[in-house]
Amino acid sequence: MTILVIYFLKWYLNTSRKDFQMNSFGVIFLVILEALVLLGGYLAYRDDFLTARQMVNNKGFKDGLPFLAHAGMWGDFFLVSPLIAVIISKFAGQWSYIMIGSCFVVAYIISATMHKLYVTAKIPESHTYGGRLTGTGKVHLVYMAIAIAILLLFFFCTKEVSKVMALSTSIILAVHIAIGNHVLVGLFKPSWFSRFPHKEKSTMISIGISWVLIVVGYLFLVNK
């Protein structure tokens, strides 16, 4: 514990006030985003949709996607949230209040629209079933709005970003989008999931469009 304190003090003393503030914002957003993922899991548990056993035995759905089987959720926790925290820590000082406000409005519209489409899912999921968003789905709407807003700020309102940072961010997002569209769970073919997203034209089109948008964002970012 003493060693950790020493390292923290050394880091603090060698960090400017502005950098320390930006790092603090990054940590705060990391905690907020991870807390939203965990809240989504808790609400799924309350709704008998956390695990496949709950979904089948308690909820009565023989075909569906429980929270813990949603690869996008794991991507949110281990990929997107840390990525957003790093972006904020490194670049938030460049963004004006107008930029932030505009991107958050656009991001909320995008997230709300996407979640309206999720409601039309062919099989019940922890985020949506019965033609409505669950509590988990509503929490994810907020999570996605925050994440998209920061990514818009990163790609379109940030300068002096290294190509390594731009490329690694783009790759992380591309991977997250693929697994978030249930490609992995479809490949494993569990008995309680009848879809095969990797064979569905609509899923591949959705992933393809998302990847094109990421490429556009990457090119815009590195050619400023």
75-97 residue pLDDT tens = 999 999 999 999 999 999 999 99
How far apart CA 24 and CA 189 sit, in angstroms, is 42
Provide the residue ranges of all domains of the chain, joining segments of one domain with +: 26-222
DSSP label at residue 93: G
pTM for this predicted structure: 0.89
Give the pLDDT of residue 153.
Answer: 98
pLDDT digits (tens, 9 = 90+) for 1-12: 434 333 433 444
Question: Are 79 and 175 within 8 A, CB to CB?
Answer: yes
- Between 19 and 5, whose confidence is greater? 19
For residue range 197-223, what is the model confidence (pLDDT) as tens digits? 666 777 788 889 999 999 999 999 999
Number of Cβ within a 10 Å radius of residue 39: 16
User: Quick check: helix, strand or coil at residue 134?
Assistant: coil
Q: Residue 115 corresponds to which tokens in the numbers above?
A: 């979640």
Q: What is the pLDDT of residue 202?
A: 73
Range scoring the smallest mean pLDDT among 19-28, 157-166, 173-182 = 19-28
- Average pLDDT for residues 109-133, to the nearest whole number? 92
